Chains A and B, each alone.
Chain A
Amino acid sequence: MKHLFVFLILVVIFTGCGEGFGTASSNSGSKTDPTTVLQSSYATLLTVGDFLYAINNSELTTFSLRDPKNPEEINRQDVGFDIENIFHQAGVLFIGSQQAISIFLIGPDGIPRRQSSTDYFSSKDIKPCDPVIVDGEFAYVTLSTTAQQGPCRRTIQINELRVYNVRDLSHPKLVSTLEIDKPKGLGIDGNYLFVCMATKGVAVLDKSNPQELKQIGNLESFESYDLIAHEGLLMVVCPKEIRQYDYTDIHNILYLSSIEL
């Protein structure tokens, strides 16, 4: 009887685990599990439980997938301009745009409610490209632009990675910035952060201390736009190819393959 009780407890624990609504981030689970879905950072359409979230240039639309073959709109709201991506972690949506990171809490009805927005700049001259991804309490966003500013049309460059503490969803706080050459898409696995550099390959960073990111490596020199990092496998999207690397040993990253056709 005692063994049955323990067994039942274990059954409850293990069936409660896994990708339920609000318990997982956008990229979790085993990559060989046929149901695990991973997305690169520039995603503008994603599913969370029985809901589908879609971004056009300025609106976030929520669809119910109660009948997955027939999505039904249940909400539409303006969320800013020039949106680059949407990311989900534990029931919270983070939207990266050229103006700000906006944070939305998903209600029990599946409808997102805005908690806050961070402003990058007040100047309208500057248009960075900004996907945001989140791991635990910290949001990581890349800003990359060349802009003409002021009456003399002075050229300024903004190329950086920013880290925000988002534990308080209503008041994100800038924690650190790191200059990176033309940063684009990015991805995280544990203590490591991988950032595409438009023409210089991929930067490999140690993020165990988000206040002080350290660059620990660099993958070759190729054009890279976006990536997925998961369980030791790095998949990089380049304009005309997909490059894959094994980073199980982070100090000895192995090139695996390139798909061109």
Chain B
Amino acid sequence: MLILIVAITFFSSCTKEKKDIVVYGMAPIYLEEVDTAQIRREDPRAFSELGILVTQGNYLFINERYQGIHVIDNTDPSNPVNKHFWRIPGNQRFVIKGDLLYADNSINLLTIDVSDYRHIKVIDTDEDYFIIENDVLIRPPLDYSGPFECFDSSKGILLGWAQKELKNPKCNAY
């Protein structure tokens, strides 16, 4: 009887499957659809992860990475007022010129009429200028090193990166 029990234990451990590797790392956050109707003015919001700053006249425009642009009235720099948030999912880069805002959504170049800061409107889209063909080049912020879930452009636009439990991650940042 004892020999039978030992034999069963021995064989079940031989047929045990290889363990999955589970680690903490970074994973992409995807926006599934490109829909210019989502681009609109919203109420001002808190700063979370700021990118580039552009000023025009008395206004400051600051990128919120992958989310959009904060609009600040800086007429009095001792007392700046956060006025608007322009929601542009996927946004990383922009410039403003008069009443026109040129901004990306990580894939396309958008021309946005901002003659009224409260009612912004996309008036032109130029496609595929910012999409990186080689997914291998997309990785988490440069100050991160460690495993990450590889970016897959078939899943949507990159919105950002978040800490996540990863199973068998195939990519690594150095």
Contacts and interface: CB of A to CB of B under 8 A. Distances in A.
A40 interface: yes
Given A55-B93, A226-B53, 10 more contacts: A56-B132, A58-B137, A71-B102, A71-B109, A237-B52, A239-B50, A240-B47, A242-B62, A256-B77, A261-B44
A71 B96 CA distance: 14
A246 B102 CA distance: 30
Interface string A53-74: 0111110010101001111010
A117 interface: no
Given A69-B111, A261-B44, A235 B60 contact: yes
A69 B123 contact: yes
Interface residues of A, number: 54
A241 B60 contact: no
A69 B100 contact: yes
Interface of B: 44-58, 60, 62, 72, 74, 77-80, 82, 92-98, 100, 102-104, 109, 111, 113, 123-124, 126, 129-132, 137, 142, 174
A65 B126 CA distance: 13
A203 to B, nearest CB: 18
14 contacts: A36-B57, A37-B55, A37-B97, A38-B55, A45-B104, A56-B130, A61-B129, A70-B124, A226-B52, A240-B49, A241-B50, A256-B77, A257-B79, A257-B80
A260 interface: yes
A57 B137 contact: yes
A46 interface: yes
A219 to B, nearest CB: 15
A53 B61 CA distance: 19
Contact of B96 (A37, A40, A56): A37
Interface string A217-238: 0000000011110100101011
B78 A257 contact: yes
A119 B96 CA distance: 32
Contact of B77 (A38, A68, A238, A257): A257
A39 B52 contact: yes
Contacts of B82: 259, 261
B95 A39 contact: yes
A157 to B, nearest CB: 14
Contacts of B55: 31, 36-38, 228, 230, 235
A161 to B, nearest CB: 19
A40 B55 CA distance: 9
B73 to A, nearest CB: 10
Contacts of B174: 148
